[in-house]
A and B are shown apart, each in its own frame.
Chain A
Amino acid sequence: MSNMLEVEDLTKVFVIGKDANLIAVNNVSFNLKHGETLGLVGESGSGKTTVGRCILRLIEPTEGRITLDGEDVTALDATSLRDLRANMQLVFQDPFGSLNPRLTVSQTVEEPLKLHGMARAERLKRVAEMMRLVGLSEHFYHYYPADLTASEQQRVGIARALATKPEFVVLDEPTSMLDPSARAEILELLQDIQKELGTAFIFISHDLTSVAKISHRIAIMYLGHIVEHAPTDIIMHSQRHPYSRALLSAVLFPDPARPPDPYVIEGEIPTAINPKPECPLYGRCPIREDACRSAVPPMVEVEPDHFSACRRWRDVAASTQA
């Protein structure tokens, strides 16, 4: 199947002062097929949220090309961009904060339809369809966001994003502010929706296990770069980048019989202001060598469909198998 969304060399620089450029996203490329979920995983400061915002052009990218169904999104003017919004949507991290407190549930879900010129009778039908899809019964229509639980609020957010039946939706940490039980509910809901509507998702999160549950492929981000990119199974079982490996070993499985992997990287994420042209992980990497300082390592295809930006990916592999 051909790619629906293609992101090429996306870069976002925030100029935060004289001679101080914060490179939030650094030459990021990936693509997305119809009905597919790509997980974008990274810690705070990795640039994952900025990538999502740039694709939707809620933030203007500095460089790079984003095409949706062959159409260049980066070149659109404000009006055509607004029209295109029916086709690409966003679900937010903060379930309550992202809903207008003065609109009722049904007004919230109906709004995008109104904006994209749907007739009233059809709108009402679609709202009912969406409410059923996210599992909210009719008596929710007249509630305000403050009346809902966090899980219900997030369902409303999802219904709003899906109302215009977009081809793809960016899910920006949709479960990170929820309790475990609500998180499980929402993840399941998202999978059901994908089955029913064939929507493609970009799932942004810091939580590798949540992402792994619903993503077909995962890209790991660190300091503005994608450092590893592969199908979910491969990322979860045979990482070829020391950062991915550390991220996975930091997961605390809810099972005392699965003790955490002792593979830990030291220190903290450095600043993305005026980064040196070297491997972004250089300062923290357990297997660094001098050559890593000479340039940002390029992506190598270590096996079909599995990319790593580590010169010593073979050594990472070795430590996994050990």
Chain B
Amino acid sequence: MWMRIKRTLKALPKWQLGVLGIFFGIIFLTIFGPYLAPFPTETADPLSRLVPPGGKHWLGTDENGMDIFSRVLAAPRTDVVIGVVATFISVVIGAPLGVLVALYETRGKAGATAFAETFMRLLEVMQSFPVFVFAMVLVAVFGGSLTNIIIAIAFVNTPVFIRLVRAEVLTLVQRPFAEAARAVGNNEMRLGFRHIFPNAFPVVMVQVSVTVGFAILLTAGLSFVGAGVRPPTPELGAMIASGAKYLIIEQWWPALFPGIALGLTVFSFGIFGEILNLAMEPRAVRKDLDRRRTNALESAAGEAAAVPVAVAASVGASAAPVLAVSDLSVAVGDAGGQELISNISFSLAPGESMAIVGESGSGKSVLVKSVLQLLPFPLEVTSGAVRYGDIDLVGMEKRKLRKLRSREIAAILPNAKSQLNPLTTVGAMLTSALKAHEKISNKDAIARSIELLEMVGITDPELRLSAFPHELSGGMAQRVCLALALMYRPRLLIADEPTAGLDVTIQRQVLDLTRDLARDAGTARLVITGDFGIAAHYCDRVAVMQAGRIVEANRTEELFASPQHPYTKYLLSCVQV
């Protein structure tokens, strides 16, 4: 518990710490405010009406001669109590109802959907009333006692929680852990309240803090129009109301100070909700994870020194390389600056193919992104160069880089389907890509698109032009991506997990196709994968990455026949059939 609070406080930005201070100040005033007031808070003093701030009365006095400072200190007792109690009631009633409605709906019994629909429509009717007018009517009918104000505010807020919790539960019930809970033998109730509701809790807490603020505002509003707390009880809304009359004659203090207090209260409750959410994130403080990572890095560093990473000669050694990465390091840019990849060097000859193999966290995706110059903030290249022919891509002008990327350096990425714009047809994608690069008539662009689709082995290309990405299978989408990538016979193709998520028989088709097309176009391939099978059969050379370094690189046959580095040996032993 204390650890958790400490960790949360550490993670907070400074201004939120300040707001947290204000929040606790307000809670403090709610409890002790009335006792701290230097003047009586409910006794009129006709002799000192509307005294400006200063002297005895720090914040001046109001129309009845009561000390504003004292009343601002005492007011949270009324406002916060009404706000908190009303919100509490609406959560206690609304949240379980939300869980029950959602559970009932998901059981899929006949009539369940109809019931839920009706219930939700009813709530909508309730919510479609202007909240303020609704609360006013309630108070007008039942009288303006504190209890009635609380009931009115709770009543208008309950549907908010029912709807919120229902929606959350309906989403969470789809998650695998909910099915897992059923599978171990939880009944519906326990599933709902023990497993799902706690996971909906952060959202509820955020809403609570918003609602408390809103309830306070509503209380103040009701008092402002005279339907809420009656003077002389110190309440911010009523104070603002009585002070507002004097604004016009330049007596600003009776309204301004309660106004500021109200603003701070509502704001600090809102921020408190966010902080609470952060504090409730389920994480323990685990130090050994970081340690293991460092260990891996250190051992990798040690062994890298032992085994010379003689990057084997390129296949086409005579030709100048298409891509030459030298001594490349990438680190998290801002202070601290953990290195993600360190001193990577390799080169790729024209038409050659090389696999970068590594497990998750090895830095292979960071490597791809730095070669493509697509590193997300705050990652930065800290040393080294990525040379494409004679040009260093690091720090290259954005416009030139874009031109290069679309024509000479192409990339295909995992999960082709999610890479394609869901609102654009295959035909529109291809023709607009063609038009972006050359002056070409509509008719010619369509003809070229059909050729491209034929090239990547899509049957009935004329029909497929009008297909949207969601109408394509994963394999087909990957073929379309390939058509887009190889449109201009690029000199370099970077394939990042090109077949992740594809079925094995489809994977085979796509890999064969990619290899054959690249071969025809003389395109060099850099293939990033976790699968030694792909490396073994589709690449000329293999580099193995561990913890941000290339620990071994060699011609494919030699690497598999006689792995040198212990990590390579270990990985190969893991995939032995």
**Contact between B505 and A56 (Cβ–Cβ < 8 Å)?**
no
Kindly provide the distance from the CB of B497 to the nearest chain A CB, expressed in whole angstroms. Answer: 12
- Residues 66-80 (chain A) with a chain B CB within 8 angstroms: 78
CB < 8 Å neighbour of A98 from B180, B359, B476, B507: B180
The answer for the CA separation of A250 and B185 in the assembled complex, in Å, is: 39
Kindly provide the distance from the CB of B568 to the nearest chain A CB, expressed in whole angstroms. Answer: 11
The answer for the CA separation of A249 and B507 in the assembled complex, in Å, is: 12
**Contact between A142 and B537 (Cβ–Cβ < 8 Å)?**
no
Q: How would residues 243 to 256 of chain A score, 1 for a CB under 8 Å from any chain B CB and 0 otherwise?
A: 00011011111111
CB < 8 Å neighbour of B508 from A101, A111, A250: A250
A89 touching B183 in the complex, CB below 8 Å, given contacts A43-B504, A179-B360, A268-B475: yes
* B130 interfacial contact with A, CB 8 Å: no
**Which residue from chain A places its CB closest to the CB of B559 in the assembled complex?**
A256
CB < 8 Å neighbour of B283 from A56, A146, A251: A146
Binds A, one of B263-271, B437-445, B528-536: B528-536
A254 touching B183 in the complex, CB below 8 Å, given contacts A99-B177, A101-B199: no
- Residues 170-192 (chain B) with a chain A CB within 8 angstroms: 175-177, 179-187, 190
The answer for the CA separation of A86 and B185 in the assembled complex, in Å, is: 7
A180 touching B571 in the complex, CB below 8 Å, given contacts A147-B289, A264-B505: yes
A143 touching B183 in the complex, CB below 8 Å, given contacts A97-B176, A180-B574: no
CB < 8 Å neighbour of A268 from B190, B282, B476, B560: B476
Q: What are 29 A-to-B residue pairs whose CB atoms are below 8 Å?
A: A43-B504, A43-B505, A83-B185, A85-B185, A90-B183, A98-B179, A99-B177, A100-B180, A100-B181, A100-B198, A101-B282, A112-B184, A115-B185, A144-B284, A145-B282, A146-B283, A147-B284, A179-B360, A180-B531, A180-B571, A181-B359, A181-B571, A183-B574, A184-B574, A250-B504, A252-B534, A254-B576, A256-B557, A268-B475
Q: How would residues 133 to 151 of chain A score, 1 for a CB under 8 Å from any chain B CB and 0 otherwise?
A: 0000000001111110110
Q: Which residues of A contact B180 (CB under 8 A)?
A: 90, 92, 98-100, 157, 160
**Which residue from chain A places its CB closest to the CB of B175 in the assembled complex?**
A97
* A195 interfacial contact with B, CB 8 Å: no
**Contact between B359 and A252 (Cβ–Cβ < 8 Å)?**
no
* A58 interfacial contact with B, CB 8 Å: yes
The answer for the CA separation of A142 and B537 in the assembled complex, in Å, is: 45
**Contact between B360 and A254 (Cβ–Cβ < 8 Å)?**
no
Question: What bracket does the count of chain A residues touching chain B fall in?
Answer: 35 or more
* A8 interfacial contact with B, CB 8 Å: no
* B577 interfacial contact with A, CB 8 Å: yes
> Main secondary structure on chain B at its contact with chain A?
helix
**Contact between B537 and A44 (Cβ–Cβ < 8 Å)?**
no
**Contact between B537 and A115 (Cβ–Cβ < 8 Å)?**
no
Q: Which residues of A contact B377 (CB under 8 A)?
A: none
- Residues 258-301 (chain A) with a chain B CB within 8 angstroms: 259-260, 264-265, 268-269
A56 touching B536 in the complex, CB below 8 Å, given contacts A147-B284, A247-B505, A255-B560: no
**Contact between B503 and A206 (Cβ–Cβ < 8 Å)?**
yes
Q: Which residues of B contact A111 (CB under 8 A)?
A: 181, 184, 186
Q: Which residues of B contact A115 (CB under 8 A)?
A: 184-186, 190
Q: A90-B183, A100-B181, A181-B570 are in contact. List 20 more A-B contacts (CB 8 A).
A: A58-B183, A85-B184, A89-B183, A97-B175, A98-B179, A101-B177, A101-B282, A102-B282, A116-B185, A179-B530, A181-B571, A247-B505, A249-B508, A251-B504, A252-B536, A254-B533, A254-B536, A254-B572, A257-B561, A260-B537
Kindly provide the distance from the CB of A99 to the nearest chain B CB, expressed in whole angstroms. Answer: 6
Q: Which residues of B contact A208 (CB under 8 A)?
A: 504
Q: Which residues of A contact B573 (CB under 8 A)?
A: 184
A180 touching B575 in the complex, CB below 8 Å, given contacts A90-B183, A146-B282: yes
The answer for the CA separation of A152 and B190 in the assembled complex, in Å, is: 26
**Contact between A97 and B284 (Cβ–Cβ < 8 Å)?**
no
CB < 8 Å neighbour of B503 from A44, A116, A146, A260: A44
- Residues 234-248 (chain A) with a chain B CB within 8 angstroms: 246-247
List A residues at the B interface (Cβ < 8 Å): 43-44, 56, 58, 78, 82-83, 85-86, 89-90, 92-94, 97-102, 104, 111-112, 115-116, 142-147, 149-150, 157, 160-161, 179-181, 183-184, 206-209, 212-213, 246-247, 249-257, 259-260, 264-265, 268-269
* B509 interfacial contact with A, CB 8 Å: yes
**Contact between B532 and A144 (Cβ–Cβ < 8 Å)?**
no
A100 touching B195 in the complex, CB below 8 Å, given contacts A82-B185, A184-B575, A212-B577: yes
**Which residue from chain A places its CB closest to the CB of B536 in the assembled complex?**
A256
Q: Which residues of A contact B561 (CB under 8 A)?
A: 257
The answer for the CA separation of A101 and B195 in the assembled complex, in Å, is: 9
A269 touching B503 in the complex, CB below 8 Å, given contacts A254-B536, A256-B557: yes
Kindly provide the distance from the CB of A138 to the nearest chain B CB, expressed in whole angstroms. Answer: 13
The answer for the CA separation of A82 and B185 in the assembled complex, in Å, is: 5
Q: Which 3 A-B pairs have the closest CB atoms?
A: A252-B533, A254-B532, A85-B185
**Contact between B506 and A268 (Cβ–Cβ < 8 Å)?**
yes
The answer for the CA separation of A147 and B289 in the assembled complex, in Å, is: 8
Q: Which residues of B contact A149 (CB under 8 A)?
A: 289
**Contact between B195 and A142 (Cβ–Cβ < 8 Å)?**
no
The answer for the CA separation of A249 and B504 in the assembled complex, in Å, is: 10
Most chain B C-beta atoms within 10 Å of own C-beta, residue among A144, A180, A183, A251: A180
**Contact between B577 and A209 (Cβ–Cβ < 8 Å)?**
yes
Q: How would residues 511 to 541 of chain B score, 1 for a CB under 8 Å from any chain A CB and 0 otherwise?
A: 0100000000000000000111111110000
A250 touching B507 in the complex, CB below 8 Å, given contacts A90-B183, A184-B575: yes
Q: Which residues of A contact B190 (CB under 8 A)?
A: 115
* B473 interfacial contact with A, CB 8 Å: yes
Kindly provide the distance from the CB of A92 to the nearest chain B CB, expressed in whole angstroms. Answer: 5
* B286 interfacial contact with A, CB 8 Å: yes
**Contact between B176 and A98 (Cβ–Cβ < 8 Å)?**
yes
Q: Which residues of A contact B198 (CB under 8 A)?
A: 100, 102
Q: Which residues of A contact B475 (CB under 8 A)?
A: 268
Q: Which residues of A contact B182 (CB under 8 A)?
A: 58
**Contact between A160 and B504 (Cβ–Cβ < 8 Å)?**
no
CB < 8 Å neighbour of B532 from A44, A83, A180, A206: A180
**Contact between A147 and B283 (Cβ–Cβ < 8 Å)?**
yes
Q: Which residues of A contact B90 (CB under 8 A)?
A: none
**Contact between A254 and B283 (Cβ–Cβ < 8 Å)?**
no
The answer for the CA separation of A268 and B175 in the assembled complex, in Å, is: 29
**Which residue from chain B places its CB closest to the CB of A82 in the assembled complex?**
B185
Kindly provide the distance from the CB of A300 to the nearest chain B CB, expressed in whole angstroms. Answer: 24
The answer for the CA separation of A93 and B284 in the assembled complex, in Å, is: 24
Q: Which residues of A contact B87 (CB under 8 A)?
A: none
Q: Which residues of B contact A146 (CB under 8 A)?
A: 281-283
Most chain A C-beta atoms within 10 Å of own C-beta, residue among B503, B512, B572, B573: B503
Kindly provide the distance from the CB of B207 to the nearest chain A CB, expressed in whole angstroms. Answer: 18
The answer for the CA separation of A184 and B577 in the assembled complex, in Å, is: 11
The answer for the CA separation of A147 and B285 in the assembled complex, in Å, is: 8
Q: Which residues of B contact A212 (CB under 8 A)?
A: 577
The answer for the CA separation of A294 and B35 in the assembled complex, in Å, is: 92
Q: Which residues of B contact A89 (CB under 8 A)?
A: 183-184
